Amino acid sequence: AILGRSETQECVLYNYNPSSENRGNRSSIEYCVGEKDKRRHCFATWRNVSGSVEIVKQGCWLDDVNCYD
């Protein structure tokens, strides 16, 4: 095992849902589990609405060889 690396990554899990805006969008923790030799990352997507940044989605991003040089 590599020091400092764990087999589980904790990320915020969030999905923007316009129909639930009045009730408030909810977020939680997502536990990203993958193969030992693959990397796990947290990601976030957002949109810029008239200068105001709004988070759209957050969660786990599992290793994909196409993401690296």
Instruction: Determine the pLDDT at residue 2.
Output: 45
| Tens digit of each residue's pLDDT (9 = 90 or more) over 17-51 | 877 655 556 789 999 887 777 778 899 999 998 99
In the chain, the largest separation of any two C-alpha atoms, in whole Å, equals 47
3-state secondary structure of 10: strand
Instruction: Determine the pLDDT at residue 1.
Output: 40
Instruction: Determine the pLDDT at residue 59.
Output: 92
Q: Which residues pair with 45 in a beta bridge?
A: 57
Q: Provide the whole-model pTM.
A: 0.66
For residue 55, what are the contacts with CB-CB under 8 A and spacing of at least 6?
Answer: 14, 16, 44, 45, 46
Q: Where are the domains of the chain?
A: 8-67
Of 12, 20, 15, whose CA–CA distance to 41 is shortest?
A: 12
At 7, the pLDDT band (50, 70, 90 cuts) reads low
Cα 62 to the center of its chain, rounded Å: 10
We find that the CATH architecture of domain 8-67 is Ribbon (2.10)
